[in-house]
Amino acid sequence: MKKISFLIFLLVLASCGQSQEKISPTAILISNAHIVDVKDGTILENQYVVIDSGKIKQISTVQENVNNYTTTIDGTGKYMIPGLAEMHAHIPPPTTDTKRIEETLFLYLSNGITTIRGMLGDPLHLELRKKAAKGEIVSPRIFTSSPSLNGNSVTSIEEAKEKVTAYQKDGYDFLKIHPGIQLEIFDQIVKTAKEVEIPFSGHVPVDVGIRHALKSKYASIDHVDGFLEGLVPESENVNKTENGFFGYAFTPLAEMERIDELVQMAKENEVWIVPTQSLFERWFAPISADELLKQPEMKYMPSATLANWKSTKDRYMAQEDFNEEQWQRFDSIRKQLIKKLSENGYGMLLGSDAPQLFNVPGFSIHHEIQGMLGAGMSPLEILKSGTVNPAIFFEMQDKFGEIKEGLDADLVLLDANPLEDLKALKQISGVMRHGKWISKIEIDEKLATIARNASNN
């Protein structure tokens, strides 16, 4: 009997040993967190999430051997969401100091942004993309556009062929379309892009127009560019080059009943929309530069940048003959477009255009979220636009966009439920990018350093 008991003891001991061996020394355990399902808005309460080698290895309601994990994070009472994507970001150009580039990338991360889509590419950004993928720099996942294709950079059909082909071979994720491109040159860009299989996104050149742009199947149209102009009936016989700031000058001529046609076209042609509404509520809006400069996040930007932002805003407001009553209608039209494109279009992507005028990287995403709420989008729709939708956009649902076993460990731990109030996205307990945890304490320390450096520049 004693021998049998001893054998049972040895079997139990061996079993425990095997169980302990299964726990990798590099594994991280997040315990008792509430996981937000960004697809349907349900909450999985008190979940244990095991992370190792940059991946989400296991999600369960019970976890044995909790004390055997080298690194544990207490998620009690906290809410876990996938890392956000800033789908209209800018990475500083190569003329920028290396330290400042690193700081800009961290500003995104500090606000729970674990993926950025750089909208003005450079060969340097291709290198940064590689380093970010290998974990050699502290950075969100990077997608980068080509250098700008605009009316000055592409002036002939032959040049369109050459540049599109070259940018695809260089490895850029997509082409960036800027204003000024003539219609026949644009059509060649599209033709060559489809031949070499590289998508294109960005602005809608005036000579192209929104309907032709949608039929050309942009991957995304950013800023809701061209849509307001598309609401002006042909009978008005306007000079299309006199549209002003994203169609502002044509505001009195816009006919709202034309919205549904454009929304349907966006859906049929599978064109995603990046609203960047914060740009139109901060840069071109009845709020003074001085008032914006008082906002807390401005301390993270160099004084020279802030001075440039102020002069640019003041100049644009004067040039556009800004009228608050007309702006109110302009803003109302944009919000109606955003709401209908969200409800009945192909899909929305979260993006604020940072760093752009008074849009501080990372922090501006919260202004964008408020703008989307103001347009009538629901908290869940907005969360989707910054998580699962970008993953679908890039055809990388097997990599990121959800809290799911097997996906990259890109996540944010929040102190409150974002579905109840999206301001909870500011209440960050910590951010994880590809399995590397950055605590709130580390975030605050780094932000303080960035602020000190900015004050000296």
- Is 107 domain-assigned? yes
What is the per-residue pLDDT for 67?
Answer: 86
- At 207, which CATH number? 3.20.20.140
- Is 239 domain-assigned? yes
Tens digit of pLDDT for each residue in 42-64? 999 999 999 999 999 999 998 87
Cα(409)–Cα(52) distance, rounded to whole angstroms?
Answer: 8
- Determine the structural domain holding residue 198 and report its residue range: 92-396
- Is 203 domain-assigned? yes
Tens digit of pLDDT for each residue in 195-208? 999 999 999 999 99
- Is 122 domain-assigned? yes
Reported as a pLDDT band with limits 50, 70 and 90, residue 4 is very low
Q: Could you give the number of structural domains in the chain?
A: 1
Order of all β-strands in the sheet with 272-274: 84-89, 113-118, 141-149, 174-177, 200-202, 220-222, 272-274
Bridge partner residues of 85 (DSSP): 115
First-last CA distance in the chain? 80
Six-digit token string for 2: 């004693």
Query: What value does the mean pLDDT of the chain take?
Result: 94
Question: 245 and 226 in contact (C-beta within 8 Å)?
Answer: no
Q: Is 5 a residue whose pLDDT tops 80?
A: no
What is the per-residue pLDDT for 316?
Answer: 86
What is the per-residue pLDDT for 55?
Answer: 97
Cα(410)–Cα(425) distance, rounded to whole angstroms?
Answer: 15
- Is 334 domain-assigned? yes
Reported as a pLDDT band with limits 50, 70 and 90, residue 13 is very low
Tens digit of pLDDT for each residue in 404-433? 999 999 999 999 999 999 999 999 999 999
Q: Which residue has the higher pLDDT, 1 or 291?
A: 291
Six-digit token string for 89: 């970001």
- Is 56 domain-assigned? no
What is the per-residue pLDDT for 317?
Answer: 86
Six-digit token string for 164: 């599109």
What is the per-residue pLDDT for 10?
Answer: 43
- Is 99 domain-assigned? yes
Cα(191)–Cα(159) distance, rounded to whole angstroms?
Answer: 13
Q: Is 17 a residue whose pLDDT tops 50?
A: no
Residue 245 phi, psi dihedral angles, 5° rounding: -70, 100
Tens digit of pLDDT for each residue in 143-195? 999 999 999 999 999 999 999 999 999 999 999 999 999 999 999 999 999 99
Tens digit of pLDDT for each residue in 377-387? 999 999 999 99
- Is 64 domain-assigned? no
Tens digit of pLDDT for each residue in 213-239? 999 999 999 999 999 999 999 999 999
